[in-house]
């Protein structure tokens, strides 16, 4: 496939859908750790029993199974909601069908959550609002045994084959997907706003780190938001263009298409089997006559050599903070799962900001609080994901800028006219004190408060 054909395929998959007129729906996904309160791995029989009873109560039907016949996902055909397990049975995800208002989602979330946690409590378990399962050091780390997650786990473990490569630094928790939980939102984006939205919301990432950090691991004590580091320093980040932030601003859809061409494919399917392989950039992949990979044949992994096919572009999987999807949406992926009482703050923040991109652009392009010290947005995002903020920061100025950003989000939600701005209130308290759930938790635990108190506090509706 010549380069222009590759670019056309990328354009057709990612850019063309943004030209379709939509009604600005919202898609919300909330992942939550399932915590076994006595410690250790969650009893999977309790998880399956709870999910089964949930599906009966709310009219969901099985939508996927693992190799042992356990149901991995349930779907409500009427509203599009899905209950699934992300990577492991210790990470439960509620994905909501497209909605017009945030309260449509929140009302269903509260009903689902109350029912699920009522059942989990009888088994010594709880869902909680944290970006890292607090039992991460004890959980077994095994993926769900289906084609997708078995392949992913095999691929992530292949980092051991690349540790000596120059410029690459890997952590030793390739099972991170089994114990990390995110709060994600998808918003429709029109073609005429696409570049501005990607650029401006990218500049917002350091500030989001301060507001939403909620993933702390004792193994990495310098971080309050360790989730992003775990992604970037794994095989998902073998090609840095697949993860994190865009390194430079985009100026046109052509630049965006060319950037996507530099992202890497690392898996595809042949004969209904997932195959993973060393990442290859899209712009190089289709020039190769053959690719060498590995697949699971039911008993073990076998080598396979195959020729690229045009349809393999469907298996390009990226994890950018602002991820353009084939649906004509941008998925915002960098935020941790929040305490359950604040579960809708991430969706509310992005929905409100989406209505005020022009005003946010002016604010951030003239920012002197963090953007006047010679650091790139990527460097700043990494700095503000940590416990110790850089010395150049003046906390009073930082708080004031956070409050200005939140006022824009609030104004955007007021403009929508559904009363959704009330969902932002917890963030104003955080901005005033320059704190976040992880900072509060670490402060308490280091002061002698048992972790279990935070597990239970962050589990309250």
Query: Concatenated DSSP letters for 344-385?
Result: THHHHHHHHHHTTHHHHHHHHHT--SSTTSS--HHHHHHHTT
pLDDT value of residue 24: 87
In a domain, 380, yes or no: yes
Residues 111 and 126 in one domain: yes
Residue scoring higher pLDDT (142 or 186): 186
pLDDT of residue 138: 83
Residue 140: pLDDT band by 50, 70, 90 thresholds? low
Can you tell me whether residue 34 is helix, strand or coil?
Answer: strand
Q: Is residue 201 part of a domain?
A: yes
Is position 114 within any domain? Answer: yes
Q: What is the pLDDT of residue 332?
A: 98
Is 208 found in the same domain as 73? yes
Ramachandran bin of 143, using left for φ above 0, alpha for ψ from -120 to 50, beta for the remaining angles: beta
Q: Kindly state whether residues 308 and 217 are assigned to the same domain.
A: no
CB atoms within 10 A of CB 91: 24
Residue-level pLDDT at 114: 98
Is there a domain that residue 10 lies in? no
Q: 290, 315, 340: which is the final residue of a domain?
A: 315
CA distance 109 to 273: 35
Q: Of 297, 315, 333, which residue sits at a domain end?
A: 315
Residue 447 has phi, psi (to 5 degrees) of: -90, 5
Q: Where are the beta strands (DSSP E) in 235-354?
A: 243-244, 264-270, 273-281, 291-296, 301-306, 319-320, 322-324, 329-332
Domain end (from 315, 348, 376): 315
- Exposed/middle/buried for residue 271 (C-beta within 10 Å: 0-12, 13-18, 19+): exposed
Between the CA of residue 416 and those of 198, 276, 351, 355, what are the distances in Å? 21, 44, 9, 8
Within a domain: 11: no
> Which of 95-104, 131-140, 149-158, 196-205 is least confident?
131-140
The total number of structural domains that make up the chain: 2
* Mean of pLDDT over the chain: 96
The reported pTM is: 0.96
* Contact of 427 with 349, CB cutoff 8 Å: yes
Does the residue 1 lie in any domain? no
Domain of 43?
A: 23-238+320-457
- Give yes or no: residues 294 and 333 share one domain: no
Same domain, 205 and 336: yes
Tell the residue number behind the tokens 């998902």, with chain if given.
Answer: 236
Same domain, 77 and 205: yes
Phi first, then psi, for residue 27 (nearest 5°) are -120, 125
């Amino acid at each position: 496939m010549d380069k222009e054909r590759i670019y056309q395929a990328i354009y057709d998959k990612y850019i063309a859908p943004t030209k379709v007129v939509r009604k600005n729906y919202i898609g919300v996904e909330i992942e939550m750790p399932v915590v076994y309160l006595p410690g250790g791995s969650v009893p999977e029989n309790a998880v399956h029993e709870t999910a089964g009873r949930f599906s009966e109560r709310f009219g969901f039907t099985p939508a996927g199974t693992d190799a042992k016949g356990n149901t991995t996902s349930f779907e409500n055909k009427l509203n599009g909601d899905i209950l699934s397990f992300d990577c492991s049975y210790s990470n439960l995800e509620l994905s909501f069908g497209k909605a017009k208002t945030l309260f449509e989602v929140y009302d269903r979330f509260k009903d689902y959550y109350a029912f699920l946690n009522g059942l989990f409590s009888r088994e010594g378990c709880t869902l909680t609002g944290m970006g890292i399962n607090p039992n991460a050091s004890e959980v077994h780390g095994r993926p769900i045994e289906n084609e997708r997650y078995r392949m992913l786990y095999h691929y992530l473990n292949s980092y051991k084959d690349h540790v000596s490569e120059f410029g690459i630094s890997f952590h030793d928790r390739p099972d991170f997907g089994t114990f990390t939980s995110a709060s994600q939102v998808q918003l429709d984006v029109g073609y005429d706003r696409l570049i501005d939205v990607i650029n401006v919301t990218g500049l917002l990432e350091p500030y989001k780190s301060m507001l939403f950090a909620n993933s702390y691991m004792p193994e990495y004590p310098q971080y309050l938001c360790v989730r992003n580091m775990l992604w970037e320093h794994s095989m998902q980040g073998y090609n840095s263009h697949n993860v994190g932030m865009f390194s430079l601003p985009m100026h046109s859809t052509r630049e965006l298409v060319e950037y996507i061409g530099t992202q890497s494919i690392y898996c595809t399917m042949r004969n209904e089997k997932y195959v993973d392989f060393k990442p290859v950039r899209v712009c190089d992949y289709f020039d190769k006559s053959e690719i060498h990979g590995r697949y699971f044949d039911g008993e073990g992994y076998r080598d396979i050599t195959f020729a690229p096919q045009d349809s393999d572009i469907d298996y390009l999987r990226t994890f950018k903070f602002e991820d353009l999807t084939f649906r004509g949406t941008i998925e915002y992926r960098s935020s941790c799962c929040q305490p359950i009482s604040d579960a809708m703050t991430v969706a509310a923040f992005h929905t409100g900001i989406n209505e005020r991109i022009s005003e946010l652009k002016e604010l951030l392009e003239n920012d002197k609080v963090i953007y006047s010290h010679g650091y790139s947005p990527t460097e700043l995002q990494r700095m503000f994901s940590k416990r110790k903020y850089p010395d150049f920061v003046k906390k009073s100025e930082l708080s004031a800028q956070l409050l200005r950003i939140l006022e824009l989000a609030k104004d955007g939600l007021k403009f929508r006219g559904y009363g959704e701005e009330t969902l932002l209130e917890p963030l104003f308290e955080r901005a005033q004190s320059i704190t976040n759930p992880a900072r509060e938790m670490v402060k308490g635990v280091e002061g002698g408060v048992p972790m279990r108190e935070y597990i239970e506090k962050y589990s309250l509706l």
